[in-house]
A and B are shown apart, each in its own frame.
Chain A
Amino acid sequence: MTDQTPHRQTEANVVLRQIGKPLERSDAEGKATGRTRYAGDYTMPSMLHGRVLRSELASARLKHLDASAARNLPGVLCVLTADELPDRLAATDIPGQTGQKRASTDRQILVREFIRHHGEPLALIAAETPAIAEKAHDLIEYEIEPLPGVYDIDSALGPDAPIVTEPDNIVGQHKIRKGNVDKGFAEADHIIENTFKTQFIEHAFLEPEVGLAWVDENGVINIRMSTQVIEHFRFIADALGVPHNKVRILGAMVGGGFGGKEDITVELYLALLAQATRRPVRLAYTREDSFLGHGKRHPFVISHKTGVTKQGKITALEVNIRADSGAYVFLSPYVLLYSAVAAPGPYRIDNVKIDSAAIATNNMYTSAFRGFGAAQACVAYEAQMDEIAKAIGIDRFELRRRNFMRTGDKTATGQTVESAIWSDECMTRALEALGEETKAEEPVKIGRGVATYQQSYGRITWLHDTAEAWVGIEIDGTVIVRSGVTDIGGGQVSALSQIAAESLGVGLEDVIIYHSDSAVTPLAGTTTATRALYMTGNAVHKASSILRGRMIDFAANELDVQPDEVDLANGQAFVVDDPSNFISLTDLAARGASEGLQRSELAMFRAPFTDPIDKETGQGPVFPDFTYGCHAVEVSVDTETGEVTVLKSVGAHDIGQAINPQAVEGQIEGGALMGQGYALSEELIYQEGKLVSPSFSEYLIPTSMDMPEIKTIILESRSGLGPFGAKGIGEPSFTPVAPAIANAVADAIGTRVFELPITPEKVVKVLSQSQTNGDLEQKLNKTPLLED
């Protein structure tokens, strides 16, 4: 169900015919009927099958590895080990669009001597059948010697800690200094301090990593795969030692990404095996491979110290953030930066001091995951807001209202937010939508919680982000879009088609889009960072608008009127004041073709470019803009068993302008589900770095039985930097969900679980403790809850 606010049109006379309509997504039918081909559906003649041999220990020395028995097995074409890849390294950085790369953050491709995490690849196999590859996998002999490792961030910083990353296991640090916190705390009537912890979690996309690589007649290594980032072709070429134009990555519709297909996954192994065998190679991860094979969400420990007046005005905030970056750097420094910038939340605070560090351990490496550090920050700052309200006796919603940033306010890094900040409106709407409180009887209690947030869309501005797109009109008036964008299920491709349809006055069904091919579609620059619509949408809008202008000029001439009298809609160019004076787009395109009119346009959209922020103060612009919104939930808690049931779940977000409200609802519903798992049940458990919950029987994402109906409220300020004033919703829809649930549980039971996930056992434990402390007015049980 969707409630929409009335459009606030910022441009006069803008009539949107396609944008903002809940059209059936162009990818819907193929997916619903099973006709869409995913990367795993592609095969080739004489195709081989790949397999990865992985370490079973997290910290060890590979003493020797003998692949001779595997190589001698009939049907085995090649086994690659570190010996076959001298001097080869793989990048762990964001794929730059500018040729820039961080120094010394590459990783070994296959283990040469030191194993740094569970699942680290030791060897690659290509064989005639999956069964032979499996047999070869078992025939590789190796000996490993366990080494002492570090498995938590405190130990990693100890004086005698084994060093995972030189020189001191600290892989990233960011500071933010604004105002004067000493002065701010002196002005405060209360100082509230709390520490919040989050866990490792898994992206758990429906489609595990998969791809097919082949070397073509020009010597180009082609890789068809499931990825968010076709731009990795450059890093793959670097790792293989071939020119950039000799590697091509072709995507397909992606069965979920969430950041888990943002780093290099199977493409590097596919490229190496295809290069070595000169035959097509397919590699499909099993679910177990997938659990071991890609980076996870960073566990964070975040401490807040907040000074606040009696009236509820926050005067100072000090935050300490530590994140477990695991065994390799990957995107940890960026994730950390997001968490530091996000740490104060959507609140105006004049005196801020933030310190953050990402710390290497022998746990699985951590990297991109929907929310990208800003989500973990929200878990802390929104719980802290409720704790402050409770401590000083102010209504928690009122406390938020008294501190919300307003349009034109500056963030903690001094960046002025020029778009709408509708936190208050979103919270009010979300709370209203919860309706009447559900009744319950002892020992079940009802609680409600909200979380608001500030989440960036678009990349860090000193990465100088760009996106290109090509739009063309065929001679019959139909439209083709070419964009390197990858569609990870959020409706990215359909949204671009809708934008082109709007600009060129045709129906969504008249637009065909070719996408995600690093060689033949203009590079869009990754589907990550809630940037796909903002960046690629603007590129398509720009190309379409130029084309629209050209078609209108041409039509005006044909219709013998001035261009500003002509509009394009319903497959026609027509005179606005006299719609009977028109020419069909089909005729217009054909006449244009015969007169040499250019009916295509390649356009580039550039995000704002800035210099990096100051290292000591963190001052300066960091992101193009931010999305604001609120998630509200109602839960019931069984205070005897600790079971939590989410009864109502409402997401209210100002997304600027919905291109397709149906797709937006999908993002908000998906975010609600993923956030609920993060709050209540999902956790990857590592013991001595070894993943001991490597399947869906231990790793529990919410089922249909766990989810309530999700209500979505779309507000449209039309103030964003995206096409038609759009902001972004991919990550923002997830960010506030877990803290809203945590706040609702705390509201229900009168005490808080400070560590996600909030399992029934933790609920019982905190209730038992608060009972012992005499905090709980009412005895919940006639006998002590837990014997400890």
Chain B
Amino acid sequence: MLSEFDLEMPSDLQASLSSLPYATPLGGGTNLLVDLRARREKSKRLVWLGNIQAFREIKINAQQVSIGGGTTLSDILHSPAMAEAAPSLFNAARVFGGQMVRNRATVAGNICSGSPAADTVPPLLSLDATICLTNAEGCRSVPLDQFYTGFKTNLRRQDELITGLSWLVPNSNTANLFYKLARRKGDAISVVGVAVTVTREGDRCTHARIALGSVGPTVFRAKDAEAILAGGLLSEKLINDAAQKAMEQSKPIDDLRASANYRRHSVRVLTRRLITQAWHSLPEKTAHT
């Protein structure tokens, strides 16, 4: 049963920001309400962000994607251009929770919850997303890659909200993929989530991102593995080496869903598979734009 709390429902951003120093922001509530009910969360004052106008805006142009802090997973799925502008995020949204959760849960909330199994984070890391942290004084941009400081800890200050995210649209020489491995196909917590971005120029990989979920205290980029690929002439061996390195960079734990060993094994399999798949999906001849 829920314990008692005060709920504020401001309709503009400034009002919500002025409450924040004393209250917990409530986005979709798909984590927070569960935690309140289980008494893991003790907040006595919540600020609901769902009334803020324009907070759910999605803007996509030829170069850039930006989404508001209130954007839900269903909004991502219902945005026709998103499948092109962020293939990995779009695919993550398809396997995120169940339909009811997708209708409520926000991307910003998923980022802030800080779970290592947060399904939108590997895709956003693989896209080099930047988040906008806003308080009453103004806004600061933080690369998502620098946001997490440890297990469920991050750079967000008590008085700040994630009001938006942005990233560059991948060019036609770039593939961006995501795979969620779980014990069930729908509505399950990830055992391993892997997102990769690969840019191809001829036989060379000029840019690589490998982001891993559920295999460490936070979602993280396997940068040593990325370094093996970036700039190299791509070969099966190079891909295997990168996959091996991604596995070595993983620090999973044993839990009810899977053992650490199985997670490491799956990181290697999925990294190799996704990079191979990404590479072969790209044209051998560079299209200059």
A interface residue numbers (CB < 8 A to B): 130-131, 134, 286, 640-643, 645, 681, 685, 692-693, 697-698, 700, 702-706, 759-761, 764-765, 781-783, 785-788
Is B8 close to A, CB under 8 A? no
Whole-angstrom CA separation of A641 from B185 in the bound complex: 13
Question: B184 touching A786 by the CB < 8 A rule?
Answer: no
Chain B residues near A787: list those with CB within 8 A.
261, 264-265
**Nearest 9 A-B pairs (CB), nearest first?**
A703-B186, A705-B186, A705-B185, A761-B262, A700-B184, A640-B269, A706-B185, A134-B1, A786-B265
The answer for the CA separation of A764 and B263 in the assembled complex, in Å, is: 11
Give the residue among B257, B265, B268 with the most A Cβ atoms within 10 A: B265
Main secondary structure of the interface of A (DSSP, over half): loop
Cα distance, A685 to B256, chains bound together (Å): 8
Tell me whether B186 and A785 are in contact (CB under 8 A): no
Count of inter-chain pairs, beta carbons less than 8 A = 64
Q: Is B104 an interface residue (CB 8 A)?
A: no
Residue of A nearest to B181 (CB): A641
CB-defined interface of B144-169 with A at 8 Å, one 1/0 digit per residue? Answer: 00000000000000000000000000
Tell me, yes or no, whether B85 is within 8 Å of chain A by CB.
Answer: no
Q: Which single member of B183, B256, B259 contacts A681 (CB below 8 Å)?
A: B183
Shortest distance from the beta carbon of A769 to any chain B beta carbon, whole Å: 13
Closest to B189 in A: A697
- Assuming A703-B98, A761-B258, is B184 touching A782 (CB within 8 A)? no
A643 to B265, CA, bound (A): 13
CB distance from B204 to the nearest CB of A (A): 23
Q: How far is the CB of A414 from chain B (nearest CB, A)?
A: 44
| A–B complex contacts, Cβ < 8 Å, 18 sampled | A645-B185, A681-B184, A692-B256, A693-B256, A697-B189, A702-B184, A703-B184, A703-B186, A705-B187, A706-B185, A760-B183, A760-B262, A761-B258, A764-B262, A765-B262, A781-B269, A783-B268, A788-B261
User: Which residues of chain B are within 8 angstroms of A130 by Cβ–Cβ distance?
Assistant: 1
Using an 8 Å CB-CB cutoff, how does the interface string of B253-275 with A read, 1 for contact, 0 for none?
A: 00011110110111011100100
Measured CA separation A14–B266 after assembly (Å): 62
Closest to B37 in A: A286
A93–B244 Cα distance when bound, in Å, is 57
Which of chain B's residues 230-289 have a Cβ closer than 8 Å to chain A? Answer: 240, 244, 256-259, 261-262, 264-266, 268-270, 273
Q: Which residues of B contact A760 (CB under 8 A)?
A: 181, 183, 191, 258, 262
* Nearest CB in chain A: distance from B30 CB, A: 11
Q: Does A786 lie within 8 Å of B261, measured CB to CB? A: yes
Q: Within 8 Å of chain A (Cβ to Cβ): is B188?
A: yes
Taking CB atoms, residues of chain A closer than 8 Å to B266 are 641
Contact present for A641 and B183 (CB under 8 Å): no
Q: In the complex, which residue of chain A has the Cβ closest to the Cβ of B4?
A: A131
Q: In the complex, what residue of chain A is closest to B266 when comparing beta carbons?
A: A641
Are A700 and B188 in contact (CB-based, < 8 A)? Answer: yes
* A687 and chain B: residue at smallest CB distance: B256
Known interface pairs A702-B184, A764-B262. Does A641 touch B256 (Cβ–Cβ under 8 Å)? no
* A703 pairs with B185, CB closer than 8 A: yes
Q: How far is the CB of B2 from chain A (nearest CB, A)?
A: 9
Contacts of A706 in B (CB 8 A): 184-186
Structural contact, B259 and A783, CB atoms closer than 8 A = no
Q: A641-B266, A786-B265 are in contact. Are A703 and B256 (CB under 8 A)?
A: no
Contact B256 A761 (CB under 8 A): no
Q: Which residues of A contact B181 (CB under 8 A)?
A: 641, 643, 760
A704 and B186 in contact, given A783-B240, A786-B262, A787-B261 (Cβ under 8 angstroms): yes
In the complex, chain B residues whose CB is within 8 Å of the CB of A781:
269
With both chains docked as a complex, state the minimum distance between the C-beta of A424 and any C-beta of chain B, in angstroms.
34
Which A residues lie within 8 Å of B268 (CB)? 783
- Is B183 a contact partner of A703 (Cβ separation < 8 A)? no
Shortest Cβ distance from B270 into A: residue? A641
Chain B minimum-CB-distance residue to A677: B184
CB distance from A539 to the nearest CB of B (A): 42
Contact between A785 and B98, CB atoms less than 8 A apart:
no
Assess whether A131 is in contact with B98, with CB atoms less than 8 Å apart: no
Given A704-B186, A786-B265, 14 more contacts at CB 8 Å?
A130-B1, A286-B1, A640-B273, A641-B181, A641-B270, A681-B184, A697-B189, A700-B188, A703-B184, A705-B185, A705-B187, A706-B186, A761-B259, A787-B265
CA distance A765 to B270 in the complex (A): 17
Chain A residues, CB < 8 A from B187: 703, 705
A782 to B191 Cα, complex, angstroms: 23
CB distance from A290 to the nearest CB of B (A): 15
Q: Which residues of A contact B244 (CB under 8 A)?
A: 783
Min Cβ gap B258→A in Å is 5
How far is B98's CA from A706's CA once the two chains are assembled, in angstroms? Answer: 12
Chain A residue at minimal CB-CB distance from B243:
A783
* Residue among A692, A759, A764, A782 making CB contact with B183, cutoff 8 Å: A759
Nearest residue, chain B, Cβ from A698:
B256
Bound Cα distance from A217 to B225, whole angstroms: 77
| A781 CA to B243 CA, complexed, in Å | 13
CB nearest neighbor in B for A692? B256
On whether the beta carbons of B240 and A782 are closer than 8 Å, the reply is yes
**A785 in complex: contacting residue of B188, B191, B265, B270, CB < 8 Å:** B265
CB distance from B245 to the nearest CB of A (A): 13
Give the complex CA separation of A422 and B266 in angstroms. 44
A787 to B252, CA, bound (A): 14
CA distance A286 to B1 in the complex (A): 9
